[in-house]
Amino acid sequence: MQTYQQLIDGEWTGAAGGKTFQTFNPADTREAVAEYPKADAQDARAALEAAARAFPGWAAQTPVARGRILSRASQILESRKDELARLLTREEGKTLAESAGEVQRAIDIFRFFGGLSYVHGGQTIPHDLAHVFLYTTREPLGVAALITPWNFPIAIPAWKLAPALLAGNTVVLKPASPAPAMAFEIAKALQEAGLPPGVLNVITGPGGPIGAELTAHPAVRALSFTGSHQVGQQLYQQLAPRMVRAQMEMGGKNPTIVLEDADLDLAATLCARAGFGLTGQACTATSRAIVVRPALEPFLEKLVERARAVRVGNGLQEGVTMGPAINESQLQTDLDYVRIAQEEGARLVYGGHRLIDDELEHGWFVEPTIFADVTPSMRIAQEEVFGPVIAVIAVDSFDEAIEVANGIQFGLSASIVTRDLKRAMLYAERIQAGVVKINQVSTGLALQAPFGGVKGSSTDSFREQGAAAVDFYSRIKTVYLDYSA
Ligand code: NAP
């Protein structure tokens, strides 16, 4: 078992109250993975004060100097890629291939923002009068608080941290309690890369008391959160009285529409990958397949074939294609929704059970699950499960498919499978989602492109990822220089 300390002001220390907590391998809960300090409001305050002290020095460095540290951290993470991927799988449960992909994503994100540092700045704007130089600069905001979920424990901290640091902010990061190791591994890499003390502080512990301090402390000028709608909404309300810049990226109930002209093998493969991959624990997972009736039966048959081919098990084992749920509570949520869907009249076509055979009995394993005869108002069609459960909804037309797809509180990612270019383009125009995929999985994003949701999936204030990500972490100052006199 590894032991981590929290990082405050460049020092690795225990929690002020001396308490600790452990994480356990979700594939085999007999294995404790790591121990962490259990921070409280006092630790959060110390971390925020350290970040506030470090801010003027960090903000005074040039973007290129800051970017060099990000690029160096990318190289350090790359040199540890295999070791980090194994640790990620042991703590979060996803397969080794999925973990390796995620670690690579974090490496690439730091490289991307390291490179972006060379063009980080404002613009020049022609003035109405001669001999007036009108330009903008970008300034950092101050201390940024980052609160991240467990399901992408290295990619999400990376995609918030890199633009926050590039823009010149100092940071307090609070990763999710079920999988904090990767946040500390990023911190180690940044420290080794030369990040000055206090610029990044990482604390672990329960979200409630730490979140209360992060939202109330006057040093915090921006808070970026990724997680559930319920917590995001609460944090947004806590921040409102101080009018602090806020970015809340939350859940989804993502559709994949299958039209009658679609390549149904492709449609089934895309839905299975986006619905069962990462054990369905992705905010962009496909959890609704909305299928136009002529395609329904052949599509269902093919989707069941794909579900049957999923090999559930410990993600470290070769050949395993789907790991466990993160913990008992998520497993219970998955099984609760299986029961609720059946009670509401949906037809269980495949899966729906916990797996406990042989070596699976010590983990939180669930079968990939498919429901048919789902109607749009059922809870299984409306609420985020965050497990490998696909609800198949039959519709009569393209227009009805879009109406059903839009008839939910969320709007994160949305996919369509069709060969009809016109309807694909109309879909892109009419679907209420931050990300639209045509003949692609609803999961999976290009790190160089903006990402975020609409409706209940996001505060829809600023986008994450890509060059647009720095907008949240910087403010624009406008300068008029008159040299006419
Ligand atoms: P969560 O329960 O909302 O937790 C997210 C983070 O918030 C964790 O660090 C958690 O800490 C902290 N937290 C919990 N209660 C808090 C409070 N009262 N005040 C401040 N912070 C608090 O979500 P999760 O279970 O980790 O992640 C799954 C959710 O994230 C899903 O809904 C998924 O769709 C969403 N997600 C969205 C995106 C996106 O980009 N839109 C990406 C990935 C995931 P503790 O762990 O210590 O409780």
Please, are residues 150 and 178 in contact by the beta-carbon 8 Å criterion?
A: yes
Q: Is 160 in the pocket of ligand 1 (CB under 6 A)?
A: no
Q: Residue 338: which of 325, 350, 324, 321 has the closest Cα?
A: 350
In this prediction, the residues of the chain whose per-residue pLDDT falls under 70 are: none
- Alpha-carbon span 127 to 461, nearest angstrom: 29
Query: What does DSSP say about strands 11-13 and 132-140: parallel, antiparallel, or unpaired?
Result: unpaired
Q: Is 177 in the pocket of ligand 1 (CB under 6 A)?
A: yes
Q: Provide φ and ψ at 130, rounded to 5°.
A: -75, 155
Distances (CA, A) of 218 to 38, 138, 144, 199, 241: 23, 22, 11, 17, 11
Tokens 């970026």 — which residue? 224
Q: Give distance in angstroms: CA of 229 to centre of ligand 1.
A: 8
253 CB under 6 A from ligand 1? no
In Å, how far from its chain's centre is CA 382? 20
CA 212 / ligand 1 centre spacing (Å): 14
Question: Among residues 185, 224, 222, which one has the least CA distance to residue 78?
Answer: 185
**Distances from the Cα of 247 to the Cα of 239, 319, 412, angstroms:** 11, 38, 14
Amino acid 359: pLDDT? 87
Question: Among this protein's residues, is 271 annotated catalytic?
Answer: no
CB 227 less than 6 A from any atom of ligand 1:
yes
Q: Which of 177, 204, 226 to mutate to test the pocket of ligand 1 (most atoms within 8 A of CB)?
A: 226
* Angstrom distance (rounded) from CA 49 to CA 265: 56
Distance (Å, rounded) from C-alpha 482 to C-alpha 479? 10
Q: Given this model, what pLDDT does residue 242 score?
A: 96
Cα angle 126, 131, 136 (rounded to 5 degrees) comes to 45
Distance 304 CA to ligand 1 centre (A): 31
Global pTM reads 0.98
Verify whether ligand 1 is closer than 6 Å to residue 443 (CB atom).
no
Q: What is the pLDDT of residue 389?
A: 98
Cα radius of gyration (the chain): 23
CA–CA gap between residue 13 and residue 1 (Å, rounded): 18
d(CA 202, CA 97): 27
In what order do the strands lie in the sheet containing 286-292?
347-350, 369-372, 389-395, 286-292, 254-258, 413-417, 435-438
Which among 165, 183, 155 has a CA at the least distance from the CA of 470?
A: 165
Atom of ligand 1 nearest to the CA of 210: 20
Sheet hosting strand 124-126, strand order edge to edge:
124-126, 132-140, 474-482
If one counts every other C-beta atom within 10 angstroms of the C-beta of residue 306, the result is: 21
Angstrom distance (rounded) from CA 77 to CA 69: 12
Structural domains present in the chain: 2-250+458-480 (3.40.605.10), 254-438 (3.40.309.10)
Q: Which residues of 220-234 are buried (b: 16+ CB within 10 A; e: fewer)?
A: bbbbbbbbebebbeb
The residues, any chain, with a CB within 8 Å of residue 214's CB and separated by 6 or more, are 44, 48, 145, 147, 172, 174, 220, 223
- Backbone torsions φ then ψ of 248, nearest 5 degrees: -120, 115
Structure tokens at 293: 């009736």
List the catalytic residue out of 27, 283, 295, 445.
283
C-beta 180 within 6 A of ligand 1: no
Check: CB of residue 142 under 8 Å from CB of residue 242. Answer: no
Dist CA 68 CA 435 (whole Å): 31
Which ligand 1 atom lies nearest to the CA of residue 330?
A: 25
Cβ atoms 256, 286 nearer than 8 A: yes
DSSP structure class, residue 458: B
DSSP codes of every residue in 195-217:
PPTTSEEE--S-HHHHHHHHHH-
**How many angstroms does the Cα of residue 228 sit away from the middle of ligand 1?**
5
